[in-house]
Amino acid sequence: MPIYEYYSADTHKIYSFYARKLVGPDVVPRCPDGDGKKMERVLSPFAITGRAKEKTDEPGGEGMPDLDPRQEAEMMKLAGEMSGMDEENPDPRQLGRLMRRMMDITGEKMPEPMLEMLARMEKGEDPEKLEEEYGDVLDDDSMGDLGMGKGEGEKGGAGALRRRLPPRRDPTLYEMAEYL
């Protein structure tokens, strides 16, 4: 009786589902956080028995620089702090501090307009207002290799930071049959 894991890019979470029988690879349950959220099956970490430095199909692996174990631990701490943030109305100071810490951990450089916007966010300015003013600063093209561009229909700020962190794991084990 297997446990299957599915990732939702919309919530940036990995969900575990208990199936009383084997299910095919084309079976995808509804997202526990809402029917409109897309899900895709992912490989469970316990099924991986080594640490290869190859490109991974796992969510969060694409576009992320290779991190050493210390950096990975720091990013996991950062993800924990991020999960405590109010996603609807994030504190701009906290958001700015988390974004700066993330860049410090990875050693990535930000373009000057992003640094200016980040400094203003750390002073408490409204991220929505800053995004309107800076326009394309968070777009993929202007961010180069940072990969912090906006997702489809998503605003910058907290959403951009969330996509750069490893996905969170939903602690609940869901009954697969209830979500088909």
Report, as an integer, the average pLDDT of 159-171: 68
The tokens for 41 are 């099956």
pLDDT of residue 83: 67
Residue 7, strand partner residues: 14, 40
Q: pLDDT class for 32, splitting at 50, 70, 90?
A: very high
Identify the H or E element spanning 121: helix 112-122
Helix (H, G, I), strand (E, B), or coil: what is residue 148?
Answer: coil
Give the mean pLDDT of the chain.
Answer: 72
Q: pLDDT class for 81, splitting at 50, 70, 90?
A: confident
Domain boundaries, the chain: 3-62+168-179, 69-164
Complete DSSP assignment for 43-96? --GGG--S---S---STT-TTPPP--HHHHHHHHHHHHHHHTS-SSS--HHHHH
Pick the more confident residue, 8 or 23: 8
CA distance 102 to 39: 26
User: What's the pLDDT tens digit per position in 104-124?
Assistant: 877 777 778 888 888 888 898
Under a CB-based contact definition with an 8 Å cutoff, are residues 149 and 139 in contact?
A: yes
Q: pLDDT class for 6, splitting at 50, 70, 90?
A: very high
Q: pLDDT class for 148, splitting at 50, 70, 90?
A: very low
